[in-house]
Amino acid sequence: MNTMMQKSPIGGKRAIVLSTNGIGKYFFDPVKFKALDDVSFEAYEGEFLTLVGKSGSGKSTLLYCLSTMDTAYEGDIYIKGEKITGKKSDELAAIRNENIGFVFQFHYLLPEFSCLKNVMIPARKLGKYSYDEIESRAYEKLKMLGLQEQALKPASKLSGGQQQRVAIARALINNPAILMGDEPTGNLDSKNSAIVFDIFKEIAHEFGQTIIAVTHDNDFAKASDRTIELADGRIVNLDKSDF
Amino acid sequence: MKNNINIDIALTHIFTRKKQTFVAALGVTIGVGIYLFMNSLDKGFSRYSMDEIFKNNAHIKIYKNDEISKPLTTEDSSSLRVIINPQITTLSKKIINPEALLATVKSQSFVTNAIAQVNFDAFYNRGKAQIKGSGNGVNMTEYAQMFNTNKYMVAGKTEALQGNLNGIIIGSGISEKLNLGLNDNITVTSSFGVVKVMKIVGIFTTGSSMNDNAKSYVNISTAQQFIKEGPAFVSTLFINTLDANNPEPFVQKLQQLTSYTVEDWKTTNADVLAGNKTREAMMGAISMAILIVAGFGIYNILSSTIMQKINDIAILKATGFNGSDVVKIFVLEAIIMGAIGTMMGLIFGSVLIGIMSNVYMGGPVGYFPIGFELPLFIRSFVLGMVITICAGYFPARKAAKVDPVEIFRK
Ligand SMILES: Nc1ncnc2c1ncn2[C@@H]1O[C@H](COP(=O)(O)OP(=O)(O)OP(=O)(O)O)[C@@H](O)[C@H]1O
Ligand SMILES: [Mg+2]
């Protein structure tokens, strides 16, 4: 799978980083309900991909399946060519640690830790580098996001926009292949949304990392490389030109 | 702090929640402290009552028990039965050939000490005043060695009896009641009508009125004269062994050497031992219950920490921490709280023991019989830690099972 190349919508030959094959997902409470139905698509290296759709269309549900945190689905998911469907939860945790960064609507920073220490957490779990190396890498990430001044402040003492940028730095610390976001700008004003958007674009286009972001923001989606639209758990549109 | 992120997170939780940590630790402190104190109290009591027992008891004694007459019957049920009233048929409580038996007993490898004793019923007189008691004919040097008699001497010395056939050592109660002191003369009459005027060469007080008001020591040959017997008469052999706590196998071995009754101190003092056991069980159960309640304190505080930190747990799991990492974080928090609490508990318990050991009870007990017992400190520490680890493990397991998706959906 790793070597499999395909023509991406924005031109050039790119590697597939994530692909799904007929994802289906049921909820049983309160009644049996199909939230995802036969969802198949690919995401490419360095691609800024957005998921859109009406409320309740299954965007978050799909993202959590892709994230490896939700394992109760039908079909298969591949990350960097490796089938992750059916793996044990400890293996999935290690895969997430190394390959996937998360940004949510809420920042989920640990309030007792400084910004710098929050950013360091996934890298310290990965354990690939020494503490001091991780610290300087984390500092680099914060600097890139314009937060060098805030590095040593407790996470709880920052503004909402700053907190979201710290969360992005944390998501990027292990240089994951994929950055996933569930309405990452949902809580931000237009100015901060624009900052986050620019960061995502830079990450995708300059560092070649793939971004899969759920959004309600039409401008945000339009400016991304490609948009997948969901309706009632099915993909209704794979190409942004038709969006 | 620099090495392990799990430890770092656990310590941060502990340090940023000092009050909860302190409250949880305090519960353990009280639990461990009370556990240590109550068990030390119990141990002190047991030791005291053991000491009391060994004032009068050797590990094993050999004596001639009363014989009961047996009815004459035959195996054949059709034949005539002779029914008689069972009766004590002992003619004498004498041990025949005691020297030889004593020598055989002493030659056993497990026997550390063995002595002979001649008992007689004695009446101590001064003018019209008379006290009934019991006289013990012993080799005083050997006897003092076995029963630590020197510790209880309040006047005179045990050595003064050695070779002094006219000397007697009496209990302090006898001395007080008859108003007789050291070097005074005392008239002793035996149940065989032998009367002797003897010189008091020593006075002892053991704290038990049963001894102090009745007992006296004389030389073996003097005692034999009191009961009008020759030098071959001995009523009891006292034997000390290598292991006071397990006399049973020694009893069996000795029983093979003689037909007289061989009895260990546990059999003789079964009632006291049963009392001790009951007290031990009660104290143990109560103190254990207090310790377990302390465990619930840790359980509660950790559970509430986990409820409050559920978002943190979710993001940690999302970023690649697995279930066992989460368990480690929260069990470590329990261990830290437990270790602080247990240490403070050992100090708290020590303070209680210190205070109690200075309480004067009066009477034969004197100061409260309680002391610092290292094995009890170790047991309290281990139990305190085990209980907090268990109390931490269950909420930690719950935390490890948190489904991050459920949290992020909210
Ligand atoms: N835990 C659950 N149990 C039962 N049904 C659920 C559960 N989670 C989601 N659903 C249902 O699945 C469908 C898809 O939900 P999902 O959260 O993926 O929508 P969404 O596209 O992210 O919507 P929004 O834009 O409002 O976030 C909805 O109809 C929702 O009610
Ligand atoms: Mg959603």
Residue B228 to residue B159: CA distance in whole angstroms: 26
Q: Are B114 and B105 in contact (CB under 8 A)?
A: yes
Q: How big is the CA angle at B61 (ends B100 and B215), to the nearest 5 degrees?
A: 110
Nearest protein Cα to ligand 1, atom 2: A27
Decide: helix, strand or coil at residue A51: strand
Taking alpha carbons only, the member of B67, B66, B215 closest to residue B137 is B215
DSSP string, B287-343: HHHHHHHHHHHHHHHHHHHHHHTHHHHHHHHHTT--HHHHHHHHHHHHHHHHHHHHH
**B26 CA from centroid of ligand 2 (Å):** 45
Taking alpha carbons only, the member of B233, B235, B239, B230 closest to residue B257 is B239
> Is A2 part of any domain?
no
**B32 CA from centroid of ligand 1 (Å):** 50
A190 at B interface, C-beta within 8 A: no
Residue B130 in tokens: 């008379």
What was the pLDDT predicted at B49? 86
Interval B195-236: pLDDT, tens? 999 999 999 988 778 888 999 999 998 999 998 888 888 888
CA closest to A182 among chain B residues: B408
Q: Max CA-CA distance within chain B?
A: 104
Q: Which of residues 295-354 of B touch A (CB under 8 A)?
A: 311-312, 314-325
> Is A243 part of any domain?
no
Closest ligand 1 atom number to CA of residue A58: 18
CATH at A78: 3.40.50.300
What was the pLDDT predicted at A240? 54
> What is the residue extent of each domain of chain B?
2-53+273-409, 60-67+91-268
What was the pLDDT predicted at B260? 86
Distance from CA of B402 to the nearest CA of A (A): 11
Decide: helix, strand or coil at residue A137: helix
Tell me the average pLDDT of chain B.
Answer: 88
Q: Do A121 and B409 touch (CB under 8 A)?
A: no
What was the pLDDT predicted at A242? 41
- Domain of residue A163, residue span: 16-238
Q: Do A97 and B319 touch (CB under 8 A)?
A: yes
pLDDT at residue B267 tops 50: yes
Q: What are phi and psi of B150, to 5 degrees?
A: -55, -30
Q: Are B123 and B240 in contact (CB under 8 A)?
A: no
> Is A27 part of any domain?
yes
Burial class (CB in 10 A: 0-12, 13-18, 19+), B179: exposed
Decide: helix, strand or coil at residue B246: coil
Band (B410; pLDDT cuts 50, 70, 90):
confident
What was the pLDDT predicted at B73? 62
What was the pLDDT predicted at A2? 39
Structure-token match 């004197």, residue found? B366
Taking alpha carbons only, the member of B192, B256, B404, B400 closest to residue A96 is B404
> Is A11 part of any domain?
no
> Is A52 part of any domain?
yes
Band (B105; pLDDT cuts 50, 70, 90):
confident
What was the pLDDT predicted at B304? 92
What was the pLDDT predicted at B360? 87
A4 at B interface, C-beta within 8 A: no
**B120 CA from centroid of ligand 2 (Å):** 100
What was the pLDDT predicted at A239? 66
Chain-centroid distance, C-alpha A132: 27
Residue A15 to residue B98: CA distance in whole angstroms: 105
Q: Are strands A210-214 and A48-53 parallel, antiparallel or unpaired?
A: parallel
Q: Are B58 and B239 in contact (CB under 8 A)?
A: yes
Q: Do A69 and B405 touch (CB under 8 A)?
A: yes
> Is A5 part of any domain?
no
Closest ligand 1 atom number to CA of residue A61: 18
Interhelix angle B310-318/B270-308, rounded to 10 degrees, is: 70
Q: Do B405 and A64 touch (CB under 8 A)?
A: yes
What was the pLDDT predicted at B99? 81
Reported ipTM: 0.91
Q: Are B44 and B367 in contact (CB under 8 A)?
A: no
- Is the CB of residue A181 below 6 angstroms from any atom belonging to ligand 1? no
Residue B198 to residue B270: CA distance in whole angstroms: 37
Q: Are strands A74-79 and A13-27 parallel, antiparallel or unpaired?
A: antiparallel
> Is A105 part of any domain?
yes
Residue B63 in tokens: 């004596």
What was the pLDDT predicted at A237? 79
Band (B303; pLDDT cuts 50, 70, 90):
very high
In B26-164, beta strands by DSSP E: 60-63, 111-126, 129-138, 153-156
Considering CB atoms only, which of A109, A121, A170 is closest to B5? A121
Nearest protein Cα to ligand 1, atom 5: A27
Q: Are B171 and B203 in contact (CB under 8 A)?
A: yes
Q: Give yes or no for a cis peptide into A30 (omega within 30° of 0).
A: yes
- Name which residue leads in pLDDT, B89 or B240: B240
Closest ligand 1 atom number to CA of residue A53: 21
What was the pLDDT predicted at B90? 59
Q: What is the count of structural domains for chain A?
A: 1
DSSP string, A187-222: TS-HHHHHHHHHHHHHHHHHH--EEEEE-S-HHHHH
> Is A10 part of any domain?
no
One digit per residue, the tens of pLDDT, for chain A of length 243 reads: 333 444 444 445 689 999 999 999 999 988 999 999 999 999 999 999 999 999 999 999 999 999 999 999 999 999 999 999 999 999 999 999 999 999 999 999 999 999 999 999 999 999 999 999 999 999 999 999 889 999 999 999 999 889 999 999 999 999 999 999 999 988 888 888 888 899 999 999 999 999 999 998 888 898 899 999 999 999 997 765 443
Query: How many interface pairs between A and B have CB atoms less than 8 angstroms apart?
Result: 68
- Name which residue leads in pLDDT, B322 or A238: B322
**A60 CA from centroid of ligand 2 (Å):** 4
Residue B250 in tokens: 């020694």
Band (B327; pLDDT cuts 50, 70, 90):
very high
Dihedral, CA atoms, B163, B167, B170, B175, nearest 10 degrees?
-150
**Mean per-residue pLDDT, B74-86:** 66
Residue A120 to residue A157: CA distance in whole angstroms: 18
Residue B167 to residue B137: CA distance in whole angstroms: 11
